[in-house]
Amino acid sequence: MRDFARRIESATPADRDRAVDALRAIAILGVVLGHWLVTALVVDSGTVHGASPLRYLPGLTPASWLFQTLAVFFLVGGLVGARSHASARARGESYGRWLRARMSRLLRPMAVVPVVWSVAACAMLFAGVDQDTVRALCKLVWSPLWFIAVFAALTAATPLVARLHPLWPFAVVLVVDLYRFGLDAPGGFASVNVAAGWLVPYCLGAAWARGELCGRRTGWTLLLGGAAATAALVLWAGYPAAMVGVPGVAVSNLDPPTLAVVTFGLAQCGAALLLLGPLRRALRRPALWAVVATVNLSAMTVFLWHQTAMITVTATGLWAGGTLPGLHNLPDEPGWVLARLAWLPAFAAALLICRLAFCGYERQRPARTKNLVVREGRPAGSMAARRV
């Protein structure tokens, strides 16, 4: 491990902002842990269906504040996308070539998911598994993929939105919510918030790339202002307190994004900016930087397969030991939470296997750099370090 950390340390450019990679890793791991903790697969009369402890245990709502980290990912995405496009233009690279490279990194690891799960669904149906069970499992895998589609669209629009002020998409979300909730207008048009809501942190990231988010004052303004606005919307405007979707609840803060989740995201972005200094100091330690670089190297793989890892452990437990607490029972009591925490290492082990099996789809093709050759399949810290 020490040699591995030293190799990554030596391959990392001196001007690499390691804190940005740490924010990306925190965002991805927050989503993964959030899904593992607030998603249950309940066995009922031979059929598996999804459930959420947030519906039965509202005291767990603060967990959704901790693990709903998508705004941080879009913040980093806007920063990296704007910098990458500016760098490509400076090299004289065309927009099409730049976009193909970005989309390849984003979509290539995703292409294998429908293939594997189509085969798995057919195998389950052939083996006599209930159709409702197969549908529930496939939905669990497919549902997070909306995030990839939105991120891909914003990435493609980077040349257009890189100089867009975040107040413009914020105003769109505000107007949509006023019509939707204030005037009880039909909610079909609210889907525009899917783009506008996540465009707010993406535009903040682009502003960061332009050097417009400098200073701790900006971080504190976003953190305190976003937190106060979110609290006001929840306490006095009737928005849900949970920052993730809860089955059976009339209004979701995520489907589509509401003003509350956008203001909450602003607070998260402010916290992320305030963490930059401490993260940069902490990541001078080669061992910690090696962990962050490794997570970034497989970020898409981890995101795409974390639900499959949970499903695999759940199915294996059902086959080997019947209905197990924290894995197959209804999440309606505090004991379920303790039991689910005990299952997290098993989920992580299954995810590690998935990473080993599918991370090759995320690796860049072999590329010769100035000082070394990066070969696919090797634990190349240089790829994580150099990836933009």
Which DSSP string do the residues of 152-218 spell out, in sequence order? HHHHHTHHHHTT--THHHHHHHHHHHIIIIIS---GGGGGHHHHHHHHHHHHHHHHHHTT-S-SHHH
pLDDT band at 367 (very low <50, low <70, confident <90, very high): very low
pLDDT tens readout for residues 125-149: 999 888 999 999 999 998 888 888 9
Three-class SS state of 323:
coil
Q: Which two tokens stand for residue 135?
A: 């549908």
Which DSSP string do the residues of 89-139 spell out, in sequence order? HHTT--HHHHHHHHHHHHHHHHHHHHHHHHHHHHHHHHTT--HHHHHHHHH
- pLDDT number for residue 386: 45
What pTM was estimated for this model as a whole?
Answer: 0.90
Going by the DSSP 8-state scheme, the letter that residue 254 receives in this structure is B
Q: For residues 371 and 163, what is the distance between their CA atoms, to the nearest angstrom?
A: 35
pLDDT tens readout for residues 267-307: 999 999 999 999 999 999 999 999 999 999 899 999 999 99
Average pLDDT, whole number, for the chain? Answer: 88
